[in-house]
Amino acid sequence: MSKEVLMLVDVLAKEKNLDKEIVFQSLEKALAFATKRSFDGEFPEIDVIIDRNTGKYRTIRKWNVVSDIDFYDDDKELSLSDVRSDPKRFGEDTNIGDVIEEELENVDLGRVSAQTARNIIAQKIKDAERDQVLNEYLSRNNGIIIGKVRKFERGNVIVDCGKVEAIIMRPDLIDKEVLKPGDMTKGYFDKANPQIKNGRLSISRTSEGFLAKLMENNVPEIMNGRVEIKAIARDPGNRAKIAVFTTDQRIDAKGACIGFRNQRIDGVTKELFGEKVDIIEYADDLAQFALNALAPAEIDSITVDEEKRTIDVVVEDDKLGSAIGPDGVNVRLASKLINCTINIYGKTEAKDKKSHERTDLIKSFSEALDVDDDISELLVDNGFTSLEEVAYVDVAELLVIEDFDEDVASELQERAKNKLLSKTIIYKDKMDKLAHELAAVVKFSQDVLLQLVESGILSIDDFADLSGDELMDVISVDIETANKLILKAREVCGYFQE
């Protein structure tokens, strides 16, 4: 048998042009499967090991040692008490978590088992051949897969690429794009995160990677690295924004991507079923980057909160529609491109909003600090927005305010601290309960817990029900952190359990 094994491996390796190791591994799996079939009513864990030099093979059965409480699969597990009852067979020093191996006699493969083994070997070799073809095919392209539409399967498109097939799943197809059998099409295959479904390459026409590769193929400056794509945001088939940057002063990054008479960008748009592509100049300054990303909107004023990653933009009332874009596409893509939440207001709305916020804040300061509205107005007009700021800011910042001397500043800080302390005492039980429930998610300071409780967030379920924007309105946190915290809270609450 040992010589026959070596001869079989040698013949198959030469016939299929495969590495012998692949054939050995396939044969081991086939023999293991055939051996399992000999166990009537059992499903043991079997390994077969073939000596690469002699062709002899060993058959080994494996068990995992588990506690008596965790024991439930007697085909693949042994309870600790069973192991202890037969130390001669299983060893005296065996503990929970160990793997026990027991060598079996190599079974005599009958006609059915032998046929099964041959089928498995054939399938494994077929898989290896397919992988070899895929690797060779992928080594010759840069991520863009080109082929002819062959057929449709449940809304998915099967693409014939020559020696291999690709599949474009329904979510990876551009809406309203009509493909017919025989049409040539392209898609993006992500080599860093390859997806292969039933032997077919899974490719996408809606991914940002596809747009990036199309730009690279159409713009030599991107291909040679002189122009860099910093970020991409897409609404596939409708509109996209690409932020580009270069350190070469001789190159106009935006112009290079658009091309003479829009030739380069038009080529990309044509490939994307008419998707309009805006080229944006990247800027390190967040405000400038936002202005560029919102183009062609005409901005009247912009306010950036870098800590919360939010940007408030004001435009003329009659320009509000064009700034937001149809169905909000312009502001939505711009927000995604710069990784910030962008809020756009018309001048009238912004003025009313600012007026209401100012009035509410003045009233809040007057009530909390027990002062008249004139002092509260001075605080608000000098940028103070919370009791925490008044209580813990350097006193020098209060002394800058007209009519505030050291006595006034000290008194205001003392009142603010006392008010915060009294709130903490009042809400202590609720804050402690919330802190305990959120311990598996994050440990907030007392100030943050107080802000949450005052806003009616009294449990981890309340926290998990928030959106990222809602959490940002309550505490000082950026949108990315807010979304991460809420997602983790939802996991703890069991939102994603089946």
Statement to judge: residues 401 and 333 lie in one domain: no
Q: Of how many residues is the chain composed?
A: 498
- Please check whether residue 296 lies inside any domain of the structure: yes
Q: Is residue 108 very low, low, confident or very high in pLDDT (cuts 50, 70, 90)?
A: low
Statement to judge: residues 432 and 485 lie in one domain: yes
In the predicted structure, residue 109 carries a pLDDT above the cut 60: no
What tokens were used for 454? 């005052």
CA distances from 184 to 145, 146, 150, 157, 178 (A): 11, 7, 10, 12, 12
Taking residue 260's Cβ as centre, other Cβ atoms within 10 Å add up to 7
Specify whether the CB–CB gap between 415 and 365 falls below 8 A. no
In the block, tokens 């965790």 appear at 70
Q: What is the mean pLDDT of residues 71-76?
A: 82
Statement to judge: residues 261 and 310 lie in one domain: yes
- 3-state DSSP of 222-249: HHCCCCEEEEEEEECCCEEEEEEECCCC
DSSP result, 122-174: HHHHHHHHHHHHHHHHHTTSSSEEEEEEEEEETTEEEEE-SSSEEEE-GGGSP
In the predicted structure, residue 206 carries a pLDDT above the cut 60: yes
Statement to judge: residues 307 and 404 lie in one domain: no
Taking residue 321's Cβ as centre, other Cβ atoms within 10 Å add up to 13
Q: Is residue 287 very low, low, confident or very high in pLDDT (cuts 50, 70, 90)?
A: very high
Statement to judge: residues 407 and 302 lie in one domain: no
- Please check whether residue 363 lies inside any domain of the structure: no
Statement to judge: residues 127 and 102 lie in one domain: yes
Q: Is residue 111 very low, low, confident or very high in pLDDT (cuts 50, 70, 90)?
A: very low
Whichever domain contains 128, its CATH number is 3.30.1480.10
- Please check whether residue 354 lies inside any domain of the structure: no
pTM: 0.61
- Please check whether residue 108 lies inside any domain of the structure: yes
What tokens were used for 56? 């002899």
Domain enclosing residue 310, as ranges: 219-349
CA atoms within 13 A on the CB side of 250: 2
**pLDDT for res 497:** 65
Statement to judge: residues 340 and 447 lie in one domain: no
In the predicted structure, residue 229 carries a pLDDT above the cut 90: yes
Specify whether the CB–CB gap between 300 and 314 falls below 8 A. yes
Statement to judge: residues 405 and 454 lie in one domain: no
What tokens were used for 35? 């051996």
Statement to judge: residues 252 and 326 lie in one domain: yes
User: Average pLDDT, whole number, for the chain?
Assistant: 86
**pLDDT for res 274:** 92
Q: Is residue 283 very low, low, confident or very high in pLDDT (cuts 50, 70, 90)?
A: very high
Give the highest mean pLDDT range of 5-9, 198-202, 267-271. 267-271
In the predicted structure, residue 258 carries a pLDDT above the cut 90: yes
Question: In whole angstroms, what is the distance from residue 135 CA to residue 164 CA?
Answer: 10
- Domain edge (last residue) among 285, 319, 349: 349
**pLDDT for res 75:** 84
**Portion of the chain with pLDDT greater than 90, in percent:** 31
Q: Is residue 221 very low, low, confident or very high in pLDDT (cuts 50, 70, 90)?
A: very high
**pLDDT for res 136:** 64
Q: What is the pLDDT of residues 120-157, one digit of tens each?
A: 667 776 776 666 666 666 666 678 888 999 999 988 99
Q: Edge to edge, what strands does the sheet with 341-346 contain? A: 301-305, 310-315, 341-346
Specify whether the CB–CB gap between 206 and 169 falls below 8 A. no
Number of domains in the chain: 5
Statement to judge: residues 82 and 168 lie in one domain: no
- Domain edge (last residue) among 133, 159, 179: 133
Q: Is residue 167 very low, low, confident or very high in pLDDT (cuts 50, 70, 90)?
A: very high
What tokens were used for 320? 């509000």
Statement to judge: residues 175 and 295 lie in one domain: no
- Domain edge (last residue) among 98, 133, 168: 133
Q: What is the mean pLDDT of residues 90-116?
A: 75
Q: Is 86 exposed, middle or buried (0-12, 13-18, 19+ CB in 10 A)?
A: exposed
Q: In this predicted structure, which of 24-28, 53-57, 257-261, 376-380 has the lowest mean pLDDT?
A: 24-28
Whichever domain contains 419, its CATH number is 1.10.150.20
**pLDDT for res 20:** 82
**pLDDT for res 139:** 63
Q: Edge to edge, what strands does the sheet with 228-235 contain? A: 228-235, 239-245, 276-281
Specify whether the CB–CB gap between 167 and 197 falls below 8 A. yes
Q: Is 211 exposed, middle or buried (0-12, 13-18, 19+ CB in 10 A)?
A: buried
Q: What is the mean pLDDT of residues 17-40?
A: 80
- Please check whether residue 233 lies inside any domain of the structure: yes
Whichever domain contains 273, its CATH number is 3.30.300.20
**pLDDT for res 296:** 83
Between 359 and 4, the more confident residue is 359
Q: What is the pLDDT of residues 352-388, one digit of tens each?
A: 888 888 888 889 888 888 888 888 888 888 888 888 8
What tokens were used for 64? 């995992």
Phi, psi dihedrals of residue 375, rounded to the nearest 5°: -70, -40
Whichever domain contains 436, its CATH number is 1.10.150
Q: Is residue 292 very low, low, confident or very high in pLDDT (cuts 50, 70, 90)?
A: very high
Q: What is the mean pLDDT of residues 324-332?
A: 91
Question: In whole angstroms, what is the distance from residue 477 CA to residue 488 CA?
Answer: 15
In the predicted structure, residue 11 carries a pLDDT above the cut 90: no
Statement to judge: residues 328 and 250 lie in one domain: yes
**Could you tell me whether strands 144-153 and 184-188 are parallel, antiparallel, or unpaired per DSSP bridges?**
antiparallel
Q: What is the pLDDT of residues 293-321, one digit of tens each?
A: 998 888 888 988 887 788 999 988 888 88
- Please check whether residue 87 lies inside any domain of the structure: yes
- Please check whether residue 361 lies inside any domain of the structure: no
Q: Is residue 169 very low, low, confident or very high in pLDDT (cuts 50, 70, 90)?
A: very high
Q: Which residues contact 132 (CB under 8 A, 6 or more apart)?
A: 17, 18
**pLDDT for res 120:** 67
- Please check whether residue 409 lies inside any domain of the structure: yes
* AA identity, residue 299: I
In the predicted structure, residue 112 carries a pLDDT above the cut 50: no
